[in-house]
Amino acid sequence: MRADRPPIATHRLTKDYGSGRGIFDLDLVIDRGEVFGFLGPNGAGKTTTIRQLMGLVRPSRGSAEIFGLDCQRDSVEVKRHIGYLPGELPQYGGWKGAEVVAYLAGLRGNVDPGEVRRIAERFELDLGRTYREYSHGNKQKLALVVAFMHRPELLILDEPTSGLDPLNQHQFHELVGGAIARGASVFLSSHVLSEVEQLCDRAGIVREGRLVALAPLAELRAAKEREVEIRFASAPPIERIRALDGVTVLESTGPRVRCRVRGSIAPLVTVLRDAEVVDLVTHEPTLEQAFLSFYSA
Amino acid sequence: MMLRIAFRQGRGGLVATTAIAAFNGIAQSLGYAAIAGHSPATRAAFAAQMELVGRQLTFLLPVPAQVETVAGFLQWRHFGTLPLVYGVWALLAAAGAARGDEERGHVEQWLAAGLSRARYLVSRVAVFALLATVSAAVTCGATLLGTAWAGDALPLAGLVAQGIALVALSVCCYAIALVVTQFAVTGRTAAGIGAAVLGALFLIAGAARSGGFEGVASLSPFWQYERSRPLITGGSLDPTSVMWLFGVALLGTAGAVVLFARRDLGSSALPRRVSRAAPVRDPARRITLRLPVIAGIDRQATGLIAWSIGLSALGIFLGSLLPTMIRLAKEVPIIRVIVLRGGSGDLDAAFVGAVWGSSALLVLSSYVIAQVAAWAADESEGRLEMALSAPIPRWRIVLERIATLTVGASFLVLVASVIVGTATRAQGLSVDLAKFAAASALLVPLVVTCGAIGAVLIGWRPRAAVWLLGLVIVASYFIQQLAPMFGFNDLIRHLSLFELYGTPLLDGPNWRGLAIQVAIIAVGFGTALFSMSRRDIAR
């Protein structure tokens, strides 16, 4: 492992399954201490990319490096530094959670049982139950225990909050925060924009196997457009709304106004404070809309 | 819709069972003509010998009658063996329908789609009945073809009646297994409990033929099946027993429906103890889970104990029949020819070798198939992906599999051979202990050879590996068993993997065979190592 090399660097990384399926010519560099969100709809190529980084799937062409080590050639050394959570959970049938952890810790070596205990307590996960008895959420928690138990320098997490309730999602965010605080980097895939917004420093969007956008989250937030529908009790203050910076009125019919807001919604809320608002609905943009508005800005 | 799904789920079992049963029908028909000849005199002589054999084998087969005709022989030897084949199919199909599909979450989805529990089970029973009918029809057709090919004939009406009895037995076994599996949680336990119950019912029928368990014999579906003997002159389909079999099938289905309706999905019909233990937060302390190879043995500890009990029980059971078989062989020349494979030598050693060697090989081969199925499941269920997310080289997975298989097979052979060896001596058979130990030890390389073939198949086609290996093993078994009867030439005999084992109790180790096994192991695992290092790990 070379300390001066980025946690993840891919060069024209390609896996071609035919018929346009796979991932194509992916160029990506993740910085140390960064939380990177890899976004895209189902089947976009997120899991294929992750499996190539883990050395499970061989690229058709191009290469991927982790801390300067080739993901295929040096895959054993690479995995010493990685904590991995697969997108599709494995099945362990009648094994107890404690046995699954012990077995995988035995394969990995150097796992502190105290760390296992801390993560299991954080998620209130009972390792004494059989895997078969676990709900989907508990299986996800067990997978998180396995991914974090050896305090890895890089976490590769495929849809990490799938099946977790909001309380446990919060616990997961804190766990990621703790990992970042000790200098780790995180690469996570998701199709939930709000989750990426909360956690990530930078995000890339992949569609039909190609990276179509890459942006820091701070800029993305500033450029984010959302649609707002407001119904007033009386005549709307339409001119004051029109005068706001970053607000475009799309439709104004009677007491109803529909507008698009770029960036913060605070100026609009200030204007509305003086009016009698009956109803207010905001529509979150889709991932692609968010990125498109970012690029059009 | 449900019927179509159930049909799709049952296709594999239908094809496998029908192939085995149809092949058996053709082989027995041709074998009869080849051994018994065509003249009344040779057939009468053959029948006299077979009736002697048959009376001593009533533990396994029905009592023979009219063996001087092909119809009588097939009634005894072919349709007397099929209950085992169809019973195993019914058991596996019921365990899969009642538990396997539930484990995989399919049942939950179907019930969520508005299907009632009763309708689900009834449609599974109906589809199995349909599949069993198709299978029985093809088997009877193949048997008819086999006899025609051998220049004999069978009564068509009798054959149809025999098919009906076979379907009745299959559906009855399926319904019984369906009830029993409601008390299990996993498909594997369901198959284990079902096998124990159906096995006990089979043994009751066997014991009743020799005068034991007569009071309860009528409770066995296998005993009821044997009431019908429509192929022989003067015999017929017994309507009472067929009604009994269908009646039990109906009752069993109703019982399974009631139990299924009363239990939670994914749980046993037995009341469950509520755990009040404090939550566990630490990893298991068992050191065996953390050590290479030993972790693999730890994973299958319960299974290994079950396999060794099964193999030992089979060895003891067959051992108990040996004195009678040896006495018979002295009276019936054809058996001596088959067991000594045309040669001469120590009859005790030949019999122990033939019975222990071939049955142990078959059971151990099944153990290899189970291991290869577990390797395939490791990949399809994501455990291999998780193991490879740890810093271990891919070759370690292959080496651990070989080592685990070798250790597991050695354990099975050691336990079973000690028990069988002791039982054999207790029977008063004179078998050289050193030769017996060597013959038992030589089973291990053959198991590893089968494992090497399985490892290659897993690297090539993980999803088809189990079926392909099963095919290789079944073909090897049949070639070995049928070669003496049909006088197969060396080329065909050498196609059987089991031929590599030879007859070590009789002739000493087969060094040439052992060398070939070592070569197959080296090439097989070398190929598996190469394939594992190059291929994508996918689910």
Contacts of A251 (CB under 8 A, 6+ apart): A257, A258
Contacts of B186 in chain A (CB under 8 A): 93-94, 132
State whether B389 and A79 contact (CB < 8 Å). Answer: yes
CB contact residues (below 8 A), chain A span 173-202, against chain B = none
pLDDT of residue B155: 92
* pLDDT band, residue B332 (cuts 50/70/90): low
pLDDT band, residue B435 (cuts 50/70/90): confident
How many other CB atoms sit within 10 Å of the CB of residue B527?
17
Q: Does A60 touch chain B (CB under 8 A)?
A: no
Residue A96 gets which letter from DSSP?
B
In the three-class reduction of DSSP (H, G, I as helix; E, B as strand; rest coil), residue A60 is classed as coil
Q: Determine the pLDDT at residue B454.
A: 95
- The stretch B43-54 carries a mean pLDDT of 82
The answer on pLDDT for B178 being more than 90 is: yes
CB contact under 8 A, A105 and B283: yes
Q: How deeply is A42 buried, as exposed, middle or buried, from its count of CB atoms within 10 A (0-12, 13-18, 19+)?
A: exposed
Closest-CA residue to B195 (of B39, B325, B91): B91
**What type of residue is A119?**
I
Residue B53 CA to residue B45 CA, distance in Å, equals: 13
Mean pLDDT of chain A: 90
**Three-class secondary structure of residue A9 per DSSP:** strand
End-to-end, the C-alpha distance of chain B in Å comes to 27
Who among A58, A109, A124 is closest to B536 (CB)?
A58
The predicted structure's pLDDT at residue B382: 94
- Which H helix or E strand runs over B246? helix B239-262
Helical (H) or strand (E) element with B244? helix B239-262
pLDDT of amino acid B388: 95
Report CA torsion sign: A47, A53, A55, A58. Answer: positive
Q: Which long-range contacts (CB under 8 A, 24 or more apart) does B189-195 make?
A: B189/B99, B190/B94, B190/B95, B190/B98, B190/B99, B190/B100, B191/B91, B191/B92, B191/B95, B192/B306, B194/B91, B194/B94, B194/B95, B195/B91
**Per-residue DSSP letters for B247-258?**
HHHHHHHHHHHH
Residue B233 near residue B158 (C-beta atoms within 8 A): no
Q: What was the pLDDT predicted at B357?
A: 76
Residue B528 has pLDDT above 80, yes or no: yes
Q: Is B238 left (phi over 0), alpha (psi -120 to 50) or beta?
A: beta
Contact B390 A79 (CB under 8 A): yes
pLDDT in tens, B6-17: 778 888 889 989
Distance CA B507, CA B404 (A): 30
- Of B282, B295, B392, which has the smallest distance from its Cβ to A127's Cβ? B282
> Would you call B277 and A127 a contact, using CB atoms and an 8 Å cutoff?
no
A166 in B contact zone (CB under 8 Å):
no
* C-alpha–C-alpha distance, residues A68 and A54, integer Å: 14
The C-alpha R_g of chain A, in whole angstroms, comes to 22
What is the mean predicted confidence (pLDDT) over A231-245? 91
Average pLDDT over residues B414-421: 87
* Closest of A231, A234, A286, A235 to residue A259, by C-alpha: A231
For the ranges A83-97, B152-166, B421-435, the lowest mean pLDDT is seen at B421-435
**Structural contact between residues B244 and B168, judged by C-beta atoms closer than 8 angstroms:** no
CA of A45: how far to CAs of A20, A206, A210, A214, in Å?
10, 7, 8, 15
Nearest CA to B539 out of B466, B463, B467, B465 is that of B463
Considering only B144-148, B284-288, B318-322, which range has the smallest mean pLDDT?
Answer: B318-322
For the ranges B46-50, B177-181, B266-270, the one whose mean pLDDT is highest: B177-181
Q: Which of A57-66, A215-224, B188-197 has the lowest mean pLDDT?
A: A215-224
The confidence score (pLDDT) of residue B494 equals 85
Q: What is the pLDDT of residue B327?
A: 74
DSSP state of A73: T
| CB contact A131 to B (< 8 Å) | no
Instruction: Kindly give the interhelix angle for B465-486 and B358-380, rounded to the nearest 10 degrees.
Output: 170
Percent of chain A with pLDDT over 70: 95
Q: Is B387 touching A (CB cutoff 8 A)?
A: yes
DSSP state of B488: -
Residues with Cβ < 8 Å from A68, sequence gap 6 or more? A1, A2, A4, A5
A58 touches B: beta carbon within 8 Å: yes
Chain B residues in contact with A126 by the CB 8 A cut-off are: 279-281
A18-32, B91-105, B260-274, B410-424: which has the highest mean pLDDT? A18-32
Nearest neighbour of B290 by CB, restricted to A78, A102, A132 = A102
For residue A55, which residues of chain B lie inside 8 Å, CB to CB?
388
- The pTM (predicted TM-score) of the whole model is 0.81
The answer to whether the Cβ–Cβ distance between B279 and A99 falls below 8 Å is: no
Which of B188, B176, B186 minimizes the C-alpha distance to B128?
Answer: B176
Q: How confident is the model at residue B344 (pLDDT cuts 50, 70, 90)?
A: low
Please give the C-alpha separations between residue B350 and each of B11, B135, B321, in angstroms, as whole numbers. 40, 37, 14
Q: Which two tokens stand for residue A227?
A: 């649609």
Q: What is the pLDDT of residue A246?
A: 86
Place of tokens 């995000």: A203
The order of strands in the sheet holding A277-283 is A247-253, A256-262, A225-232, A277-283
Judged by CB atoms closer than 8 Å, whether chains meet at B283 and A77 is answered as no
Region label for A255, one of left (φ > 0), alpha (ψ between -120 and 50) or beta (otherwise): alpha
> How large is the average pLDDT for residues B322-339?
68
Residue B342 has pLDDT above 60, yes or no: no
Contacts B289 to A, Cβ<8 Å: 99, 102-103, 106
Each residue's pLDDT tens digit, A172-213: 999 999 999 999 999 999 877 778 888 899 999 888 899 988
pLDDT at residue number A140: 97
Determine contact, residues B84/B202, Cβ cutoff 8 Å: yes
Chain B residues within 8 A of A97 when measuring between CB atoms: 280
Q: How confident is the model at residue B341 (pLDDT cuts 50, 70, 90)?
A: low
Average per-residue pLDDT for chain B: 88
Whether the CB of A241 is below 8 Å from some CB of chain B: the reply is: no
For residue B378, count other CB atoms closer than 10 A to its CB: 20
Q: Could A54 and B289 be called an inter-chain contact, meaning their C-beta atoms sit closer than 8 Å?
A: no
Coil/strand/helix, residue A156 = strand
